[in-house]
C-alpha cells in the first residue's frame, strides 16, 4: 500500500509498490489529440502518441490516438487502473453556441436590460429569498405547473434560478424534485453549482451547464464505447478547469466544470513533468499559447469566475492567460513593422501538402506561399460568396492574386473573402513557426521540402537570406512569448492593462523587441519557466537569454496536457458564510435554511462542520477515495462603534476543500 500526506491541500503520493500501475491520459487540443500511458506510482511516461483532432466528432481522434499509444507501448491490449480525459468540448461548444435547448424559470427577479441568459424559453415567477434567506413570496404552484407544461415539450432541460438561493435553497430544491418526478426532465438549479452571489452570473452558469449536459454526455458515452471496444474497462475520470478530476457521473451532472479543462491540464502537466511546485507553465499549441502561474503545486484560479466568449460564469477555473500565438500562426511580411506572426491561424505548408499534393509544384510555379481554400460545406450566403465558394471548390487552393484575376467581376472581393474566412467557410495555407522548425530539423512530422520552400520564398521579401530569416522568426516568436508573459505578470499585479501605444512601447523594450540605450528595462524573472508543447524546445528555451530566467523543457513536454489529465486528484470545495444578523449571527449555505446563533464562536464552529461534511460528500460522489479536508477562512471585520479598539465580524467565508485519490495506489 502507498502512504499519503496532506500538503497545501493536495494529496501527495509516496509510492512503495514495485509493480507499475498504469494510467491512460488523453487530451484533445486544437490541433492534436495526445495520449500517454503513465506509471501512476512514479508519474513516468511509458508511451506517448498523437492523432489529428477531429472537430466534427472528437471521439474519432480520441480513438485513433489510443490505438497509436497502444502501438507505441508495444501491446495490443492494456489494462489500466485509470483513464483520464481532458477535453476542449465544453469551451468550444459555448463559443460556437452548440448545446441543448433550455427553459429557464427565475424566482423573485427579472433580467435587467441587456442581460443575455442563454435560454431558449424563460419565465420569471414570484418567489426567491432576501439576503437573510427569508422567502420574498410563496411559490404559486398553479402558475408554476402551467409554466412547466408550457416549456416541457420544447426544451431538453429546465434551469431554476432563485434570488439568494445560495442563502436558502428550499424553493429551488422543491421545484427540482417536482419537475424530475412529474416530467422526467433534467433539472439544473443555481445553488448546486456555486455559492457566489450575483443572480446574473449564477443563472448564466446554470443555463450553460444545462446546455452542455447532452453534449458532454454524448461525448463521454462515445469515449466509454471506444474504450470498451479495446477491452479497457478502467474508471474514466474527466479533468476539470480548476486542475482536478471528477468521475463520469459528476461530469455529466456538472459539465460546465470542464470549461478550460485543456489549459488546466497543461498547468498540472507542467508541474508533474518538471517536479516544481512554484513555476510558470507556458504551453505552446497550434492555435494559442497558454500561460499559468503555479504556487505551492496548484495553479491560480479565477475566483471571480471564468469568462468564455461573451459569457461571464461563476465557474472557478485556472487563471490562464491565453494569447493568439501558436505553431500554426501565420507569418507575414508587412511594412513598416517587418515580420508579423499571428494572430490568424493557417494550415502550415508542411501539413497542407498531405491534403493538397499539388501544392509544392504550384508554389514553385507562382513564387508564392499563401493560399486560400474551401474549408467546409458552406456554399456562401450572397451571390459573391457563392461564386467564390464554387470557384475554390472546383479549383482547390488559390492565391489572392489568382482570385483577383479570375474573379475580377466581384467588385468587393476582399470583404467577401473576409466574411467567408471569419465564419470558417474558407481557410488559409501559409508559412508558420511550425514550418520554420521543420527547416532546422527541430520538428519534422510534416513535409520538410514544402516548409523549406516557403522560407526560401519569404526571406527575399524582407531582404534577408534564409538563415537570417529563420533567426528573425525565432527571435520574433520568442519576443512575442515574452511580451505575453510580462503582460500576464503585470495584469496579475496591477489589474487590467491599458491598450495605449506608449505602454506597448515600454513592453517592447522589456521583451526585447526594442532597444533603449539610456535605460535598461529588460525584464528578468525569478520564477522558473516550464515549457510544454512541441515547439517549446525551440522557442521557450530562448527566454533564458531574453529574460534571464531559468527555463526547463522536461522530457515528454510535447504531451504534457495528457500527463496532467491522468495524474490529478479529485478535489471538491464548499463555501459556507457567517454574517451578523440582529443581535446574533447567521450561518448561510446552499445546503440548508439559515441557522441562527447568539455567539460568533458557535456560528463559526457550525459553519466549519457543515462545510467539511458537504465537501467530503461531494468529493466521495466525484470519485475521491479517502478524501481529507483542509479549511481556509476569509473574513472582514469592522470597528465596533461603542467599543473603540475592538472589531466585530462583518462577513466570514469558510471554505472546505476535500482532496482524495481517484484510485487506490
Q: Supply 655's cell numbers.
A: 471554505
Please write down the HEC assignment for all residues of 543-566.
Answer: HHHHHCCCEECCCCHHHHHHHHHH
Q: Is residue 369 part of a domain?
A: yes
Q: Compute the distance between CA of residue 530 and CA of residue 370 in angstroms, rounded to an integer.
A: 33
What total of structural domains would you count in the chain? 4
pLDDT recorded at residue 337 = 64
Torsion over CA: 192, 195, 201, 203 (sign): positive
Q: Which of 508, 539, 566 delimits the end of a domain?
A: 566
| Neighbouring residues of 532: CB distance < 8 A, sequence distance ≥ 6 | 266, 269, 270, 273, 281, 282, 283, 284, 557, 558, 560, 561
202 and 226 share one domain: no
Q: Is residue 500 part of a domain?
A: no
77 and 222 share one domain: yes
76 and 225 share one domain: yes
pLDDT recorded at residue 297 = 84
Q: Is residue 129 part of a domain?
A: yes
Q: Which residues does the chain have with pLDDT short of 50?
A: 1-16
Cβ atoms of residues 504 and 490 within 8 Å: no
Cβ atoms of residues 584 and 596 within 8 Å: yes
76 and 221 share one domain: yes
Q: How far is CA 340 from CA 508, 538, 547, in A?
A: 14, 18, 21
Q: Is residue 23 part of a domain?
A: yes
345 and 453 share one domain: yes
Place of cell 458557535: 602
How far the first Cα of the chain sits from its last, in Å, is: 7
CB atoms within 10 A of CB 564: 33
251 and 308 share one domain: yes
- What SS3 state is found at 34? strand
38 and 174 share one domain: no
89 and 222 share one domain: yes
Q: Is residue 411 part of a domain?
A: yes
195 and 248 share one domain: no
Cβ atoms of residues 41 and 20 within 8 Å: yes
pLDDT recorded at residue 18 = 61
Place of cell 498540472: 268
Q: Is residue 646 part of a domain?
A: yes
Cβ atoms of residues 48 and 72 within 8 Å: yes
111 and 75 share one domain: no
Q: Which of 180, 212, 244 delimits the end of a domain?
A: 212
Exposure b/e, 300-320, CB count within 10 A at least 16 = b? ebbeebbebeebbbbbbbbbb
Q: Is residue 623 part of a domain?
A: yes
Q: How far is CA 99 from CA 96, 216, 246, 248, 249, in A?
A: 9, 9, 21, 19, 19
Q: State the pTM of this model.
A: 0.83
- What SS3 state is found at 295? strand
Q: Supply 459's cell numbers.
A: 526571406
Q: Compute the distance between CA of residue 109 and CA of residue 565 in angstroms, rounded to an integer.
A: 40
Q: Is residue 644 part of a domain?
A: yes
Q: Which domain holds residue 26?
A: 7-95+216-323+561-566
230 and 201 share one domain: no
Q: Compute the distance between CA of residue 403 and CA of residue 518 in angstroms, rounded to an integer.
A: 49
| DSSP labels, 314-360 | ----B--EEES--TTEEEEEETTTEEEEEEEE-EEHHHHTTT-TTHH
| Neighbouring residues of 47: CB distance < 8 A, sequence distance ≥ 6 | 36, 37, 69, 70, 72, 73, 74
404 and 266 share one domain: no
Q: Which of 168, 193, 212 delimits the end of a domain?
A: 212
pLDDT recorded at residue 322 = 83
> What's the CATH code of the domain at 79?
3.30.420.40
pLDDT recorded at residue 38 = 96
Amino acid at each position: 500500500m502507498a502512504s499519503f500526506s496532506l500538503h497545501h491541500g493536495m494529496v501527495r503520493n509516496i509510492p512503495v509498490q514495485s509493480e507499475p500501475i498504469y494510467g491512460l491520459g488523453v487530451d484533445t487540443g486544437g490541433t492534436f489529440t495526445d495520449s500517454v500511458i503513465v506509471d501512476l506510482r512514479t508519474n513516468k511516461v511509458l508511451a506517448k502518441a498523437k492523432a489529428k483532432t477531429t472537430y466534427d466528432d472528437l471521439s474519432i481522434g480520441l480513438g485513433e490516438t489510443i490505438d497509436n499509444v497502444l502501438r507505441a507501448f508495444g501491446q495490443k491490449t492494456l489494462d489500466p487502473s485509470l483513464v483520464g480525459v481532458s477535453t476542449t468540448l465544453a469551451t468550444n461548444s459555448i463559443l460556437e453556441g452548440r448545446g441543448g435547448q433550455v427553459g429557464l424559470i427565475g424566482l423573485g427577479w427579472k433580467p435587467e436590460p441587456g442581460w443575455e441568459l442563454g435560454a431558449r424559453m424563460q419565465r420569471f415567477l414570484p418567489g426567491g429569498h432576501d439576503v437573510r434567506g427569508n422567502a420574498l413570496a410563496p411559490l404559486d404552484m398553479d402558475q408554476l405547473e402551467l409554466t412547466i407544461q408550457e416549456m416541457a415539450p420544447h426544451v431538453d432541460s429546465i434551469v431554476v434560478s432563485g434570488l439568494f438561493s445560495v442563502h436558502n435553497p428550499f424553493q429551488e430544491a422543491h421545484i427540482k424534485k417536482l419537475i424530475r418526478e412529474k416530467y422526467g426532465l433534467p433539472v439544473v438549479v443555481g445553488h448546486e453549482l456555486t455559492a457566489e452571489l450575483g443572480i446574473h452570473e449564477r443563472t448564466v452558469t446554470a443555463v450553460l451547464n444545462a446546455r452542455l449536459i447532452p453534449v458532454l454526455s454524448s461525448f463521454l458515452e462515445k469515449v466509454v464505447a471506444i474504450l470498451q471496444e479495446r477491452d479497457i474497462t478502467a474508471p474514466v475520470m474527466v479533468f476539470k478547469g480548476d486542475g482536478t478530476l471528477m468521475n463520469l457521473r459528476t461530469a455529466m451532472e456538472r459539465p460546465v466544470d470542464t470549461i478550460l479543462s485543456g489549459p488546466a491540464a497543461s498547468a498540472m502537466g507542467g508541474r508533474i513533468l518538471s517536479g516544481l511546485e512554484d513555476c510558470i507553465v507556458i504551453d505552446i499549441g497550434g492555435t494559442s499559447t497558454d500561460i499559468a502561474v503555479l504556487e505551492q503545486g496548484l495553479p491560480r484560479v479565477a475566483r471571480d469566475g471564468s469568462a468564455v466568449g461573451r459569457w461571464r460564469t461563476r465557474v472557478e477555473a485556472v487563471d490562464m492567460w491565453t494569447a493568439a500565438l501558436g505553431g500554426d500562426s501565420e507569418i507575414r511580411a508587412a511594412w513598416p513593422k517587418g515580420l508579423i506572426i499571428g494572430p490568424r491561424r493557417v494550415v502550415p505548408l508542411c501539413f497542407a501538402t498531405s491534403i493538397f499534393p499539388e501544392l509544392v509544384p504550384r508554389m514553385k510555379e507562382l513564387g508564392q506561399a499563401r493560399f486560400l481554400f474551401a474549408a467546409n460545406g458552406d456554399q456562401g450566403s450572397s451571390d459573391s460568396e457563392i461564386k467564390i465558394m464554387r470557384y475554390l471548390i472546383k479549383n482547390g487552393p488559390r492565391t489572392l492574386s489568382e482570385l483577383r484575376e479570375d474573379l475580377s467581376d466581384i467588385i468587393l472581393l476582399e470583404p467577401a473573402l473576409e466574411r467567408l474566412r471569419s465564419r470558417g467557410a474558407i481557410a488559409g495555407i501559409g508559412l508558420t513557426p511550425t514550418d520554420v522548425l521543420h527547416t532546422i530539423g527541430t520538428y519534422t512530422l510534416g513535409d520538410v521540402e514544402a516548409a523549406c520552400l516557403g522560407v526560401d520564398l519569404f526571406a527575399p521579401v524582407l531582404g534577408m537570406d534564409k538563415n537570417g530569416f529563420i533567426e528573425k522568426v525565432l527571435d520574433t516568436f520568442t519576443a512575442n512569448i515574452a511580451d505575453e508573459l510580462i503582460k500576464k505578470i503585470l495584469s496579475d499585479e496591477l489589474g487590467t492593462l491599458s491598450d495605449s501605444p506608449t505602454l506597448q512601447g515600454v513592453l517592447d523594450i522589456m521583451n526585447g523587441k526594442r532597444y533603449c540605450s539610456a535605460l535598461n528595462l529588460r525584464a528578468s524573472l525569478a520564477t522558473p519557466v516550464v515549457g510544454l508543447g512541441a515547439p517549446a524546445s525551440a522557442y521557450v528555451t530562448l527566454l533564458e537569454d531574453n529574460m534571464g530566467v531559468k527555463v526547463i523543457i522536461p522530457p515528454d513536454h510535447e504531451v504534457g496536457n495528457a500527463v496532467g489529465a491522468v495524474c490529478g486528484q479529485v478535489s471538491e470545495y464548499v463555501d459556507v458564510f457567517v454574517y451578523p444578523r440582529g443581535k446574533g449571527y447567521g450561518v448561510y449555505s446552499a445546503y440548508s435554511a439559515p441557522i441562527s446563533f447568539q455567539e460568533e464562536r458557535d456560528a463559526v464552529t457550525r459553519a466549519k462542520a457543515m462545510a467539511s461534511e458537504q465537501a467530503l460528500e461531494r468529493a466521495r460522489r466525484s470519485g475521491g477515495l479517502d478524501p481529507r479536508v483542509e479549511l481556509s477562512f476569509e473574513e472582514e471585520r469592522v470597528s465596533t462603534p461603542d467599543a473603540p479598539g475592538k472589531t466585530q465580524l462583518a462577513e466570514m467565508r469558510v471554505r472546505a476543500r476535500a482532496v482524495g485519490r481517484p484510485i487506490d495506489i
